[in-house]
Chain A
Amino acid sequence: MSTDVTTDATVTSAALALGDDALVLSHRLGEWAGHAPVLEEEVALANIALDLLGQARVLLSLVGDEDELAYLREERAFTNLQLVEQPNGDFAHTIARQLYFSTYQYLLYTELAAGDGLFAPLAAKAVKEVAYHRDHAEQWTLRLGDGTDVSHQRMQRACAALWRFTGEMFQPVAGLDVDLPALESAWAASVTDVLRRATLAVPEGPRSGAWAAGAGRQGLHTESFGRMLAEMQHLHRSHPGASW
């Protein structure tokens, strides 16, 4: 039946989109290992990276072989948000990226967990992890925003720099049955509240990403992403067919 094919295809694109988000952000957080500002953050960032990697593995496995999907796709075939591929920058950039993404992920997974779709069981488990990620990001946003003058300025700059990538989270994804306008207003309300409590201004300006909102979901990425993939995939690609 053609209906089944359509269903499979849409499930595939949704699982890939969410799986790629988790995979790519996990990789970026993994780059922090050995570089964090304090030991407790070595633990926390690795912990978040591991949670995300676990989510990525479940989601990619719904589509096919997790390693083939992670290591053998080219840049244009990845459908993660441009937000999650952004380089770590300083700690404030990493936290701003975490705040924007984990708030989105928390709201999205809460809604998916409440439904009866294919992603409900995964979302029900992941939402507990993501609640921690979101709390971690909020706490650091408060500390940096309402800490010293230097940290306030850095956090404000980071929030502004990443703001343009926030629109793409609310573009439709085939197979992802959620109320996007409601998700977007809940996201905006939550982020606005945290920024206000952190004495930070809500950034202004477009939220359309590097190409247009939703570009990452179409495989259109920013330049640093190709280099990230080159590093991630190099060893696996050097030994075709090997198992590890």
Chain B
Amino acid sequence: MATAAHQTARTSAYDAHGGTPADAGDTAGYETAFDAAVAADERVEPRDWMPDAYRATLVRQIAQHAHSEIIGMQPEANWITRAPSLRRKAILMAKVQDEAGHGLYLYSAAETLGTGRDELLDKLHTGRQKYSSIFNYPTLTWADVGAIGWLVDGAAITNQVPLCRCSYGPYARAMVRICKEESFHQRQGYELLLALSRGTPEQHAMAQDAVDRWWWPSLMMFGPPDDESSHSAQSMAWKIKRHSNDELRQRFVDICVPQAESLGLTLPDPDLTWNEERGHHDFGPIDWTEFWDVLKGNGPCNEQRITQRRRAHEEGAWVREAAVAYADKHSAGRGVEQA
């Protein structure tokens, strides 16, 4: 339900100015209406007026989310050709396919804000936009596929479920679809690790080693601590974000501890203990130097990931050009026939 003020802003902005207020006086009115709509938990839609900074923040966040899906295909695709059973191979292929699909939904959501997929991909390829730091870690064994499912997808879900209530409608709706599939992947990852954990001693060791390597990078997926997170306050005010980085990280740790126990695996943190008073698990310090290093491009796979992405795009240029040339010829042909 839109408030009257918001509805007026929507309608007049669209009818009179195509979404852009004519002067500063108008802006103030629109801003008030926008703030009221957000405060009332209404969804902002593509044709609604929105502050430029809100639009820019969303473009950045949605694009980087899309890029993460696309880059995130690589560490898992690394194991498609070596999956140890046909059942696991089918599951992994389906998962990587879903990720490409998530990328497509998210680029579409970003496009409703007035940008284009080509432009966003270009920003990814030239390093002007980022993707999740987690995908700069290598998948060294088969168990990494399970650890990614359990921990990385688990962290992603913890982050993304609140986004299903994000103030921007197209993003929120994309997240509803994505979260359903991600939960499925997360369970599959858990089940993969469980099979290894209960398997031979070598398989158990492989699973433990993977969890040891992926645990801390997964905690870093929630972003910097609250006092160092530059976008957080504004994003929470706009209801793009619903919880702080540290809140979500804590929630994730609390979820993982019992799951690790039932997996029969340990988490690599000697400081991890239940705190009765807080009703949460205390955990050890995160290596933020490593986090910032990876974010700056100096992680184990940053170079490799972006090079592969760029190469796929460049080597595919002739294919995309062919599709355009063919469409041009044949739509022209149809035009002639119709005339």
Contacts and interface: CB of A to CB of B under 8 A. Distances in A.
8 contacts: A33-B93, A36-B312, A39-B103, A42-B73, A147-B324, A148-B321, A150-B322, A244-B87
Chain A interface bracket (under 10, 10 to 19, 20 to 34, 35 or more): 35 or more
A30 B86 contact: no
A232 B89 CA distance: 10
Which of B88, B90, B308 has most chain A Cβ within 10 Å? B90
Interface stretch (B12-20, B94-102, B288-296): B94-102
B23 to A, nearest CB: 41
Contacts of B104: 39-40, 43
Contact of B325 (A148, A231, A232, A243): A148
Q: Give the secondary structure class of A's interface.
A: helix
Contacts of A36: 312, 316
Given A43-B101, A46-B97, A244-B195, A34 B308 contact: yes
Contact of B89 (A53, A142, A234, A239): A53
A42 B100 contact: yes
A67 B89 CA distance: 11
A234 B90 contact: no
Interface of B: 70, 73-74, 77, 80-90, 93-94, 96-97, 100-101, 103-104, 107, 142, 192, 195-196, 199-200, 202-203, 308, 311-313, 315-327, 329
A239 B84 contact: yes
Contacts of A151: 318-319, 321-322, 325
A40 B70 CA distance: 12
A150 B93 contact: no
A92 to B, nearest CB: 8
Contacts of A60: 86
Nearest to A61: B86
Nearest to A50: B93
B88 A244 contact: yes
Contacts of B73: 33-34, 42
A54 interface: yes
Contacts of B327: 143
B70 A39 contact: yes
Interface of A: 23, 27, 30-31, 33-43, 46-47, 49-50, 53-54, 56-57, 60, 66-67, 70-71, 90-91, 142-144, 146-148, 150-151, 154, 231-232, 234-236, 239, 241-244
Nearest to B101: A43
A232 B312 contact: no
A119 B161 CA distance: 45
A75 to B, nearest CB: 16
B107 to A, nearest CB: 8
Q: Is the contact region of chain B dominated by helix, strand, or loop, or is it mixed? A: helix
Contacts of B317: 37
The residue in B203, B315, B326 that gathers the most chain A C-beta atoms within 10 A of its C-beta is B326
Given A38-B320, A154-B318, A234-B82, 9 more contacts: A35-B312, A36-B316, A37-B315, A37-B319, A46-B93, A57-B90, A147-B321, A239-B203, A243-B85
Contacts of A56: 86
Contacts of B322: 143-144, 147-148, 150-151
A31 B81 contact: yes
A95 to B, nearest CB: 9
Contacts of B70: 39
A146 B329 contact: yes
Contacts of B311: 35
Please give me the 10 A-B residue pairs with the lowest Cβ-Cβ distance, nearest first: A37-B316, A147-B322, A151-B322, A46-B97, A42-B100, A33-B77, A37-B319, A143-B326, A34-B77, A244-B85
Given A40-B104, A53-B90, A34 B312 contact: yes
A47 B80 contact: no
Q: Which of B196, B312, B327 is packed against the most chain A CB atoms within 10 Å?
A: B312
Contact of B100 (A27, A43, A150, A239): A43
A70 B86 contact: yes
A57 B86 contact: yes
A23 B316 CA distance: 26
B97 A27 contact: no
Contacts of A148: 318, 321-322, 325
A243 B195 contact: yes
Q: Which of B82, B199, B322, B329 has the most CB of A within 10 A?
A: B322
A50 B319 CA distance: 23
Contacts of A53: 86, 89-90, 93
B80 A30 contact: yes
